Structure 1
Amino acid sequence: MHSSVNDVLTYEVKQEIANRYFGFRKLIEEDTMALADKIRHYAVILEKRIVFDLIRVFILIKDETLIEKFMALADIPEESFYDPYLIQSQTIRKRVFEGVRFRGLTKKGCFSNAIIDCYERLIDHVERYREQFAELVASQQMISDEIDLFYRKNDLGSILGFLRGLGDPASSSVMKGGLEQDLAMDLDRKLRISPPVPIDHILPVLSPLPPLSVIRREMNAIISQSYSLQGQDIHDYLSDKTFFARYSW
């Protein structure tokens, strides 16, 4: 009878330890999956807001040297966003300008306003993106801290040693010494939870864009040079009557 009671108590203790161990693991895994979902969601927002307006600017400026000047002026990492293919693809051009409204009384005015409007939207989008990026970084750090705490409180070697002590010493003697240590190391390797990848390894880091009032002169120079370098295609593009009617210039 005494042995039976001990067996029941031993089972309950082991079950409690297992529930705590795997329950904490599950919470970390759920937090990690939620973070991954947020990253995917914010990446879509990044593409639809920041990337689309940047591509519009690239297409309008067109000249790579001037695009480089624009990116440097706005302090946007060129390697994260620019690809020459973006200004060559008619499909991309059609997609990013679909539904966009332009304003201006002349072709040059429309051209200038289109770039300025894109930049002003970018200022707002980048500010929102930075808030979301900071939120992701905080979540990533929280999960990393949870993992550190988990392993400080759940050393598998100590847990296995404790569980061995609850059983029959004769039947558990095979767990002593190196075999127990090897088992703990093997389990730890198989059950190891890796911290989330740093957010800046997944999404680009963006600085706040300078206000238009600060860079207006340089921006106007880029726009003026860009317009003077445009070929007939952009003039035809701006003069298309269907385009005017469709986008309410």
Structure 2
Amino acid sequence: MCSHIFNERNRSFSGREVIMINTDAEGIVVDRPNRFLCIVNITKPVTMESEMVHVHDPGRLEDILYPGNRVLLKRAAEGKRKTKWDLIAGDIMGEWVLVNSSWHRKISEWVIQNKIIPFLNGIDTVIPEKKFGDSRLDFLLMEKEKSIWVEVKGCTLARGSVALFPDAPTIRGRRHLEELIKARNEGHEAVVLILVFRQEAESFSANKVIDPDFALTFSKAIDAGVKVFPLCFSYEENTIHFRSLLPVFQKS
């Protein structure tokens, strides 16, 4: 049995600019020796071979960071680093997909501040990186006497029109869901913001194939009253654009 769960009315805000993320170079992936490092041959604006690039995303990214695929890079700030470049985006079917999780905070803050989700419209206090239980969750939002615990996840994988998270087993992600369930049981509100960077996505689902434990906990979280809001974004001309709020698709 399949069902679509709409936590809010699906509304389209296609084309709304969120933030600019400028890049300095384009290149071709040569290898990914570990999850935090990619070897890239830079092709634009100049040619540079075998540059080490920092990957700020712990996922597998197998359909993005494979040899021969195009990527966008940003020159790293001066400092004590082994790499001079940061990976920003990769090419999927001619579209750029953001693969740098260091921007998730700013994007999610934009969502909250611009009242994209009606459920969060009455917020008057935003506290980032607040500890709850044994985890540090991304936000604690306050609305008069109500507290809302928020965790943010970035999604770069899609199969057909379905965005999927995670793209690699995540014990940490499952633990965050368990903390949100605990928050609900203690009388708080709890929210998961899924930042989907695959603009072909029309719905979102937990990735049962990659991480069945996460998918099971995801279903338990929904049953406990944790609200899930998948938001679809595109990355065009150095700018993140908000496209739409997606439904959650569950198989039962």
TM-score (norm 2): 0.22
Q: Pick the structure with more strand per residue.
A: 2
Q: Is the helix fraction higher in 1 or 2? A: 1
Higher Cα Rg: structure 1 or 2? 1
TM-score (normalised: structure 1) = 0.23
**Which has the bigger relative contact order, CA under 8 A and spacing at least 6?**
1
